[in-house]
Chain A
Amino acid sequence: MNIQALSAQLLVGLINGSFYALLSLGLAVIFGMLNVINFAHGALYMMGAFCAYFLLNLFGIGYWPALIIAPIVVGLFGILMERSLLQWLTGLDHLYGLLLTFGVALILQGLFQNYFGSSGLPYAIPTELQGGVNLGFMFLPIYRGWVVIFSLVVCLVTWYLIERTQLGAYLRAATENPTLVRAFGINVPRMITLTFGFGVGLAALAGVLSAPINQVRPLMGADLIIVVFAVVVIGGMGSIMGSIITGFALGVIEGLTKYFYPEASNTVVFVFMVLVLLLKPTGLTGRAT
């Protein structure tokens, strides 16, 4: 066994796992409040990366500010999307939300493809995070280590916000019974809008993090979102921690597969989903839905 190669694949797995976790976390939070599976999540992730790219190339604003500005800008776009489109779906079958956001994903991806083609645009690793450290058993590029740790921190902060604060209590309560929460004096529609913006912001943040690793491409989120759907099916959407753990775990499983049986690396998550559905149909952490 080649420890060097194995650890390299594990690291790639952890990075993909970071993106799975950030994206499935956003999907779960949004689904809880809006009962919508946001098919446009991959396209919004892509927009996060493009936003960082524009900030750098049009305004000379670098990586660190982009890490904050891009999620806010794309989050505001999400808020616009919720106010102008999604809010009209209240009371309709969940499936319409999926179809609508699928349409939005097609529009966004099509528009970016028209202007930027399908090839990748480069985005440099910030100077502070260039280079790497030799850990003895592997060479760790600093930027990749940063992505994993920072994503983990963001996930845990989100978990804390939702599970341990008063704001999170409103959110959890409104997921269960929005009518009653509103009757306590809380402006639930505004909370729904902000939640959507927050979930979208998480996707955009993942996009910024991924820009220096995967380049900036109009279709960078198109296939990713399908994998994230599988992650969500595996983890279930009832638990925040469940989404985080499932996301990272599947990234690692994928990384291991890349080392041991590379042919299956892009199917392993789906195969794992089939196994989970056969053995535990409600998902690993999910409640029956």
Chain B
Amino acid sequence: MLEARQHSGASASPLLEVAGLEAWYGESHILHGVDFQVREGEVVTLLGRNGAGKTTTLKSIMGIIGKRRGSVKFEGREIIRASSDHIARLGVAFCPEERGIFASLDVRENLMLPPEVRPGGLSLDQIFDLFPNLKERLSSSQGTKLSGGEQQMLAIARILRTGARFLMLDEPTEGLAPVIIQQIGRTIARLKSEGFTILLVEQNFRFASTVADRFYIVEHGKIIDGFANADLGANMDKLHTYLGV
């Protein structure tokens, strides 16, 4: 797109501002005060070991964790107390780790399910341009009969239709073949170039380093470090210690 907005990052005010975010699953306290920011047009990745609280952070922003405290501001508006349907209508879209393809819906219904929350979502043609395989599978019966990669593409494609400009993707490459991971990487790069803001959770550090502008490290329910992709080389040793790889 010609008028794709390019942001230098540092100069823009934060699109998402998370401060002192705490969250609970039932009785267990998962997040202990998470602080970070995402600026418009950025791709930011949360890294961390299993169980560090990355997914819980996304779910808390989305408003689908029952008990949460602290502050989450989206476009300057406090949303910590908002319900998830309200948050979605502000233009926040979420692609869950388990992908959430509905078995009782066919592929087209899955794709068309999320309602438009803002004008300016991708048209079906633009979506098929990004994910050519989906077009062929459109008439398939059950959404869950697709391959893992196709399900992942469907899960991303359906939230692009809605007009939301802020996407949260939870481990989009998990369990996928390298060639499909590459395709998802190209998709993220393309979305970034078209001005989407993306908050990514990844275990696959190698993949994240190809798409992200900045990284945050999550450990024990807190952000313990953060750096830009440009400083990656200087932080490699620390990163190995954090992630234990």
Contact = CB atoms under 8 A, between A and B. Distances in A.
B103 interface: yes
A173 B100 CA distance: 10
Interface in A155-181: 166, 169-170, 172-173, 175-177, 179-181
B89 A180 contact: no
B112 A166 contact: yes
Which one of B105, B112, B162 has the highest number of Cβ atoms from chain A below 10 Å of its Cβ? B105
B113 interface: yes
B97 to A, nearest CB: 11
Contacts of A94: none
A185 B117 contact: yes
B113 A173 contact: yes
Contacts of A169: 105, 109, 112-113
Interface in A181-211: 181-188
B19 to A, nearest CB: 22
A110 to B, nearest CB: 37
Contact of B88 (A170, A173, A183): A183
Contacts of A179: 64, 84
A186 B115 contact: yes
A289 to B, nearest CB: 14
Interface string B81-121: 00111011100011010001011110001001111010000
Nearest to A184: B114
Interface residues of A, number: 18
Contacts of A176: 102-104
A231 B103 CA distance: 25
A180 B102 CA distance: 10
A181 B96 CA distance: 12
Contacts of A170: 113
A170 B115 CA distance: 10
A179 B115 CA distance: 15
Contacts of A182: 64, 83-85, 88
Given A169-B109, A179-B64, A179-B84, A184 B115 contact: yes
A184 B89 CA distance: 8
Nearest to B66: A91
A180 B96 contact: yes
B124 to A, nearest CB: 15
A179 to B, nearest CB: 5
Which one of A176, A182, A184, A186 has the highest number of Cβ atoms from chain B below 10 Å of its Cβ? A184
Nearest to B93: A184
A175 B117 CA distance: 22
Interface in B125-158: none
A103 B87 CA distance: 38
A172 B102 contact: yes
A287 to B, nearest CB: 10
Interface string B159-201: 1001000000000000000000000000000000000000000
12 contacts: A169-B109, A169-B112, A173-B102, A173-B105, A179-B64, A179-B84, A180-B94, A182-B83, A183-B64, A183-B88, A185-B89, A185-B162
